[in-house]
Amino acid sequence: MLARRPYGGTLLSVIYPSLRPEAISQKLIADLIEQERRLLTELPSYYAVIVARPRRGFSKMIASLNYFLVPKLKRVGRELRQRMPASRRKAARG
């Protein structure tokens, strides 16, 4: 990752789309914006703009294997646990 810049979204991105425009006063809008600004000083931003460069060489190969294999291995583990009888599952947990 070359750069990361916060893009906001602590409160307004969640609440504002759910509000009906005809039911919102200008004071409420100003209060929501002020609350968002306060929250952004205390909490990390929910959204971010990220600039990254792809990995190259051996690192790229390892990353590709990781993205390809890890989800499949997790799925195989889940499938095996589901097919294992309940008595063996308890014994396997300890």
- Report DSSP letters for 11-79, one per residue: SHHHHGGGS-GGG--HHHHHHHHHHHHHHHHHS--S-EEEE-----HHHHHHHHHHHHHHHHHHHHHHH
pLDDT at 9 over 90: no
- pLDDT band for 20, please (50, 70, 90 cuts): confident
Per-residue confidence (pLDDT) for residue 68, from 0 to 100: 93
This model's pTM is above 0.85: no
> What mean pLDDT, rounded, does the chain reach?
86
